[in-house]
């Protein structure tokens, strides 16, 4: 184990060991590409696989151009030979000793908090994958958006750091499709496979269009007149916007380093289209706090919500944080888990507690403005402001 600049440390290790080659997994992130260019100039670098099942550049149109819309990409991805269990490489039973080369000590892992949601390691990653395929995968299509249910795989940190390979996940999804007991279970497996292909899509987009790491996939949207209110951004970061589903999700992120996928879309829409804050502010905050923070998926998700990216949702699609909460957390269990100050609020009002009368607030043990903030902004006003801001860009560029 060595630490330091890769361009210094790796060539030195090659010289020290007499190695004929340095093998690495190809990564489309801008930092990784720059790092690899520096190393390749001084050492015999060779790629063995990539962070995706289909390496970037291997799924393209007949004329060689990259896909920029998900559905055609997905069809092309599925048309290529699909991996099977035979393609999974078993871990070696023995690794030969590298000799007595100097090595830094492997750092001790910090003690996990009791009930830590993401214990590290390949063993845990494999256990989660097998448990998901054996259970929640069958209902994934129906339950994947419910924030109050444990209906997702929660494998994203393990995929991000290679504790579960994307190939193994795809093989598991295909097996669940094949062995499904009924149409609903088959649809569940298919829906999860589709999410794995979305992950591949964004890796390929980052490879072909590296400018997305700095700005909009469609550069015209870099000219949106953002408000970028620092106070509003701080309230969003800390989970104090006055919209329960937004605040619960942001506090989940701060406490666990993870957030439900539906919640990510809701909080991203709120930041960009209610508060009119540049999506790159939110993208950066997520990368600073997410255990599964992946440059390609994180960027792709934020641009999809902002309406600036590939396959983007229409810019005029703006999530209503109240109705989103009512639909995907109908009894308020998710909200109460992360906002204990709202524990006594009735189900019917859990997503808009400011509508409680003063007497009802006292009965619920939650006074708006004291125990929990009122809405930081009126959603109807915010919607019109955002449509006007995006409309300026659309009109100017047309």
Active-site residue, 236 included: no
The runs of H, that is alpha helices, within the chain are 6-17, 30-40, 70-79, 122-134, 140-143, 156-160, 166-178, 183-208, 230-238, 244-256, 261-269, 279-289, 295-306, 321-328, 333-338, 358-364, 379-397
CB 201 within 8 A of CB 300: yes
Q: Are 154 and 163 in contact (CB under 8 A)?
A: no
Q: 25, 122, 124, 195: which one is catalytic?
A: 195
Q: How is residue 161 annotated by DSSP?
A: T
Catalytic residue among 198, 258, 281, 338: 198
DSSP codes joined into one string, 197-219:
HHHHHHHHHHHH-GGGGTS-SSG
Choose the catalytic residue: 226, 285, 341, 354: 226
354 is annotated as an active-site residue? no
C-alpha 351: how far from its chain's center? 24
Contacting residues for 334 by C-beta, under 8 A, at least 6 apart? 147, 148, 245, 248, 260, 263
279 flagged as catalytic: yes
Selecting among 25, 261, 354, 360, the annotated active-site residue is: 261
Catalytic residue among 236, 281, 302, 304: 302
Q: Catalytic pick from 77, 236, 258, 279?
A: 279
* Active site annotation includes 77: no
Say whether 167 sits in a helix, a strand or coil: helix
Phi first, then psi: give them for residue 252, nearest 5 degrees: -60, -45
Q: Is 228 left (phi over 0), alpha (psi -120 to 50) or beta?
A: left
DSSP helix/strand/coil, 49: strand
266, with CB counted inside 10 A (0-12, 13-18, 19+), is: buried
Catalytic, 226? Answer yes
Provide the angle, in degrees to the nearest 10, between the axes of the packed helices 261-269 and 244-256. Answer: 120
Nearest to 77 by CA among 89, 87, 67, 64: 67
Active site includes 281?
no
Inter-residue contact 74 to 83 (CB < 8 Å): no
Active site residues: 195, 198, 226, 261, 279, 302
């Amino acid at each position: 184990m060595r630490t330091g600049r890769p361009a210094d440390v790796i060539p030195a290790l090659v010289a020290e060991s007499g190695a004929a080659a340095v093998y690495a997994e190809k990564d489309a992130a801008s930092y990784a590409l720059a790092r690899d260019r520096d190393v390749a100039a001084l050492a015999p670098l060779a790629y063995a696989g990539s962070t995706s099942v289909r390496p970037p550049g291997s799924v393209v149109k007949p004329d060689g151009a990259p896909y920029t819309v998900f559905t055609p990409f997905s069809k092309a991805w599925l048309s290529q030979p699909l991996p099977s269990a035979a393609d999974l490489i078993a871990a070696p039973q023995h690794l030969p000793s590298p000799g007595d080369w100097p090595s830094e000590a492997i750092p001790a892992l910090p003690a996990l908090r009791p009930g830590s949601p993401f214990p590290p390691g390949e063993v845990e990653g494999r256990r989660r994958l097998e448990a998901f395929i054996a259970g929640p995968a069958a209902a994934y299509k129906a339950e994947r958006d419910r924030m109050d249910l444990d209906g997702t795989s929660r494998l994203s940190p393990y995929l991000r750091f290679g504790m579960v390979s994307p190939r193994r996940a795809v093989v598991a999804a295909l097996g669940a499709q094949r062995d499904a007991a009924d149409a609903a279970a088959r649809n569940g497996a298919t829906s999860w496979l589709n999410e794995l292909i979305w992950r591949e899509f964004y890796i390929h987009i980052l490879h072909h269009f590296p400018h997305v790491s700095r700005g909009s996939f469609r550069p015209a949207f870099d000219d949106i007149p953002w408000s970028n209110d620092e106070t509003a951004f701080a309230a969003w970061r800390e989970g104090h916007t006055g919209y329960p589903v937004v605040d619960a999700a942001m506090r989940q992120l701060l406490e666990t380093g993870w957030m439900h996928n539906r919640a990510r879309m809701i909080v991203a829409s709120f930041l960009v289209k209610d508060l009119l804050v540049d999506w790159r502010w939110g993208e950066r905050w997520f990368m600073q706090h997410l255990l599964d923070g992946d440059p390609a998926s994180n960027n792709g998700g934020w641009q999809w919500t902002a309406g600036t990216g590939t396959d983007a949702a229409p810019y005029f699609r703006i999530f209503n944080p109240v109705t989103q909460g009512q639909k995907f957390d109908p009894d308020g269990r998710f909200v109460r888990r992360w906002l204990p100050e709202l524990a006594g609020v009735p189900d019917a009002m859990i997503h808009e507690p400011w509508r409680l009368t003063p007497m009802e607030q006292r009965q619920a043990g939650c006074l708006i403005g004291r125990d929990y903030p009122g809405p930081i902004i009126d959603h109807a006003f915010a919607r019109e402001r955002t449509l006007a801001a995006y409309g300026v860009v659309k009109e100017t560029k047309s």
